[in-house]
């Protein structure tokens, strides 16, 4: 990267993520999608991928096939501005997941508006 001393390369510097479970909010496009691809690429146990638009989630799921085993990816359609819906999603996740290694809160207004 121009002008940066950052040498971190997620392709080679992320460790093996075997057995790890992730919830990624806002992972269907943009930066979040890139994070999702790297998590899957490094062999996570499960990746719960949430976003607002179903078409973006489906497109992400198809593209993620290039990075790993998409049977490990659960899609979650959610409008996080709707607090009741958010509460229902969280309750469902809490009842389904046996562990959670990281919750990545990436959803927000970005370039993919």
Ligand X SMILES: NC(=O)c1ccc[n+]([C@@H]2O[C@H](COP(=O)([O-])OP(=O)(O)OC[C@H]3O[C@@H](n4cnc5c(N)ncnc54)[C@H](OP(=O)(O)O)[C@@H]3O)[C@@H](O)[C@H]2O)c1
Contact residues toward ligand X (CB under 6 A) are 26-32, 51-53, 56, 78-81, 106-113
Nearest distance, CB of residue 106 and ligand X, angstroms: 5
- Is 81 strand, coil or helix? coil
Comparison of 65 and 85: residue with beta carbon closer to ligand X: 85
Instruction: In whole angstroms, give the CA distance from residue 86 to residue 98.
Output: 20
| Pick 14 or 31: Cβ nearer ligand X | 31
- Nearest CB to ligand X, comparing residues 16 and 81: 81
Q: How far is CA 69 from the centre of its chain?
A: 14
Residue 17 Cβ vs ligand X, minimum distance, rounded to whole Å? 21
For residue 82, the minimal CB distance to ligand X (Å) is: 8
Residue 54 CB, shortest distance to ligand X, in Å, is 8
Distance of CA 46 to the CA centre of its chain: 10
- The residue nearest ligand X at its CB is 110
Residue with tokens 């370039």: 111
Closer to ligand X by CB, 13 or 82: give it.
Answer: 82
Contact between 62 and 37 under an 8 Å Cβ cutoff? The reply is: no
Query: What stretches of the chain show up as alpha helix (H) in DSSP?
Result: 10-13, 30-41, 54-64, 83-96
């Amino acid at each position: 990267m121009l002008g940066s001393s950052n040498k971190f390369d997620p392709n080679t510097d992320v460790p093996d993520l075997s057995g790890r479970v992730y919830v990624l909010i806002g992972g269907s496009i943009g930066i979040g999608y890139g994070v999702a691809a790297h998590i899957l690429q490094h062999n996570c146990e499960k990746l719960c991928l949430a976003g607002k638009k179903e078409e973006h989630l489906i497109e992400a799921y198809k593209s993620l096939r290039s990075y790993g085993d998409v049977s490990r990816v659960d899609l979650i359609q959610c409008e996080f501005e709707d607090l009741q819906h958010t509460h229902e999603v969280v309750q469902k996740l809490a009842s389904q997941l046996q562990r959670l290694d990281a919750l990545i809160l990436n959803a927000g207004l970005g370039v993919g508006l």
